[in-house]
Structure 1
Amino acid sequence: MKAIILQEAGKLIAQVHEMPENLSSHEALVKVHRIGICGTDIHAFKGRQPFFTYPRILGHELGVEVIALGDEVYHLKVGDKCSVEPYFNRTLDQAVRRGKTNCGENISVFGVHEDGGMREYFKIDAKYLHPSLSLSYWQLALIEPLAIGYHAIQRAAPVKEDKILVIGAGPIGLATAQFATLASKEVVVMDINAERLAVCQSKLRIKDTIHLKDQNFPIVDVLRKLFDGDLPTVILDATGNPESMKTTLELAAHGGKIVFIGLYQGDFCFHDPLFHRKELTLMASRNALGRDFKQIIELIENGKINTDFWITHRICFDELPDQFEDLFFGNQFVIKAIVEL
């Protein structure tokens, strides 16, 4: 079977691998049809992904077809189209026992800590497959990145009265904003990229955005104007930028919540008196839960979430090694690029 390997930083190569064999009773053999490219893949290509080793088969945003099933798999059938939940827990540690399968002590992320789905076939524990009767493989490959944003919204648990600010309009910020609009009518997105903010307005129907490069006034004043004199009660920061993360404490309303989705590889410091004076709640959001995948599939099936705008680039599997660098490090406007097998 065909596979693409990130041999070392900056070097994707095509290889031929043996077909997987010997399914265990709880496993499924799947055929890969679509592979989304995410920020983790891009960072790994450039040698900037922490806790990453080479060589590695990338790929964890997947739309797959069930080819064969172990004897003890009952929730799937051959031919099912599925999304893949790529967060594997090798031990039943404390977090996993408490249902936090997104952040287990020994979690292994498919395509990051172990070889992933950038190949024609692979075996997987069937409990990580989430089927849909109506979604396409293109849509199923979007479920995992959408789940990151969905899980962040679940962490914040906003109510309809909340005023929500999403900082960062990359794919994860867009996903977060998309689900924020289901929770509240007052959602503002802030970014330095005017094209991405235009997507928020035209595709997500978010009325108010803040283009940071165009602002001549303090952001607090801009937010108060947009929120009728108030400040956001929920802030979700998807930048991974320490200065942006620090600023959230200044922008949040008293009694507000802040969720950090983006990861900063370093120490993060903030002014404790400001944190205490406002009695803020500060949370991290990592990965997603199995139930998040199921709920997103249901939302798309029921027409609650529009996926039409997400895929801006479609790439043939065999052409990916030659196109990868130009696509992601050229001047193209990419929301989501998906590889087709």
Structure 2
Amino acid sequence: MKALICDEPGRLSVISRPAPVRADDEVLVRIRHVGICGTDFHIFAGKHPFLDYPRVMGHELSGTVEEAPPGSALKRGDPVYIVPYLSCGACHACRKGLTNACQAIRVLGVHCDGGMAEYLSVPERNVVPTGGIALDDAAMIEFLAIGAHGVRRGAIAGEDRVLVTGAGPIGMSAIIFARARGAHVTVMDTREDRLAFAVDRLGANTSLPANASAGTEAMRMTGGDGFDVVIDATGNAIPMQRGFNFLAHGGRYVLLSVVRQDIAFSDPEFHKREATLLASRNAQPEDFAEVVRQMEAGAVPTRALNTHTGRLEDGVKLFADWSRPDTGVIKAILEV
């Protein structure tokens, strides 16, 4: 089979390798679409902290069943998406149902080879029928589930004023699902084009340029109160730390971002607000199901999000092109 492999930072190759052999509890999937996300670009750039090279990337995956175990509800040809988090099922987190925070988690395309290939064999529990969702849209379910999980972690409700910092794809997913819960959403970013897109196409209520006057403007917008919920999707320690300053008293701060370095905040200010700090890691099955529900309801503008497509065999050139900000990529999808 063909596969696109990252040999080392900055170097990709299209290779031929044997197709995987299905284990007894696994489903062999013919991969059809692979979404590319910030994790993949970080791997390509050599910035990912949890990875050994060479690596076949790809964890936003849809395809069709090629072979399933005897007695499985899945059959050859079924359209499916893949939940890319391989949890152990036995650790403390897994026993509590927190499979997204498994102590021994392996993420496809990061800790082990992923789906930028013609075939992938994964545990049956990680393979889910798409229902009525088109396969190219189904390749976007995983990144949208990240935002849906963060919104659920923040217990966002209709009366909340929410600030989403960072208008990349993960921030966009948080906007979509916060709005789906009826919250008033403000989006903050340095890029005017992303702010306009979030308001015009995703339904964000207001935008806030991330500049030196953002703190003053945020207080003006909220009558001096701050935001009930702040969701950080910047992937940068400096704005992550700055985000504490936008919280209302009793507010909740959800970190979708993860960075290598420590972050710090003022303990007196944090206590004065009686604020809550929440990490949000990966997603859980109910978040994937919520994405499907909202897609079926027409609440996810998939055509607007999917800005670039190309073939797996052209991935070496496309990856280099799509990693440049001037190409305007929001979500790029490789067709296999």
Distance across 1 between alignment mates of 2:22 and 2:93? 31
Distance across 2 between alignment mates of 1:201 and 1:163? 15
**1:41 aligned onto 2:40:** yes
* % identity of equivalent residues: 38
Checking the alignment, whether the CA contact within 8 Å between 1:130 and 1:293 is kept in structure 2 is no
2:298: which partner in 1? 303
Task: Return closer, same or farther for 1:78/1:298 CA change in 2, 3 Å cut-off.
Answer: farther
TM-aligned CA deviation for residue 91 of structure 1: 4.8
1:283: which partner in 2? 278
1:222: which partner in 2? 217
TM-aligned CA deviation for residue 22 of structure 1: 4.4
Amino acid at match of 1:86: P
Task: Return closer, same or farther for 1:207/1:319 CA change in 2, 3 Å cut-off.
Answer: same
Q: How many residues align?
A: 336
Counting only pairs closer than 5 Å after superposition, residues 155-234 of structure 1 correspond to structure 2 as: 155-213=153-211, 217=213, 219-234=214-229
Distance across 2 between alignment mates of 1:93 and 1:69? 27
Distance across 1 between alignment mates of 2:215 and 2:54? 46
Checking the alignment, whether the CA contact within 8 Å between 1:59 and 1:111 is kept in structure 2 is yes
Task: Return closer, same or farther for 1:280/1:22 CA change in 2, 3 Å cut-off.
Answer: closer
1:5: which partner in 2? 5
| Deviation by residue 1:112-165 (Cα, 9 ceiling, x = unmatched) | 000000100111111111212311111100000001100000100111111100
SS of residue in 2 equivalent to 1:112:
coil
Task: Return closer, same or farther for 1:52/1:94 CA change in 2, 3 Å cut-off.
Answer: same
TM-aligned CA deviation for residue 72 of structure 1: 4.3
Distance across 1 between alignment mates of 2:173 and 2:280? 13
1:319: which partner in 2? 314
Most deviating of 190-199 and 329-338: 329-338
SS of residue in 1 equivalent to 2:292:
helix
2:15: which partner in 1? 15
| Deviation by residue 1:61-90 (Cα, 9 ceiling, x = unmatched) | 01111111102422x232221111101013
1:259: which partner in 2? 254
1:70: which partner in 2? 69
TM-aligned CA deviation for residue 331 of structure 1: 2.1
Checking the alignment, whether the CA contact within 8 Å between 1:159 and 1:184 is kept in structure 2 is yes
TM-aligned CA deviation for residue 225 of structure 1: 3.0
* Aligned alpha-carbon RMSD (Å): 1.4
Distance across 2 between alignment mates of 1:313 and 1:187? 27
Checking the alignment, whether the CA contact within 8 Å between 1:220 and 1:231 is kept in structure 2 is no
Distance across 2 between alignment mates of 1:257 and 1:69? 43
Amino acid at match of 1:61: E
Q: TM-score, normalised by structure 2?
A: 0.96
Task: Return closer, same or farther for 1:330/1:229 CA change in 2, 3 Å cut-off.
Answer: closer
Q: Note the residue ranges of structure 1 that are not aligned, 5 or more in a row.
A: none
Amino acid at match of 1:83: Y
Checking the alignment, whether the CA contact within 8 Å between 2:310 and 2:333 is kept in structure 1 is yes
Checking the alignment, whether the CA contact within 8 Å between 2:176 and 2:203 is kept in structure 1 is no
Distance across 2 between alignment mates of 1:229 and 1:132? 45
Q: Note the residue ranges of structure 2 that are not aligned, 5 or more in a row.
A: none
Checking the alignment, whether the CA contact within 8 Å between 1:27 and 1:73 is kept in structure 2 is no
2:57: which partner in 1? 58
TM-aligned CA deviation for residue 326 of structure 1: 2.1
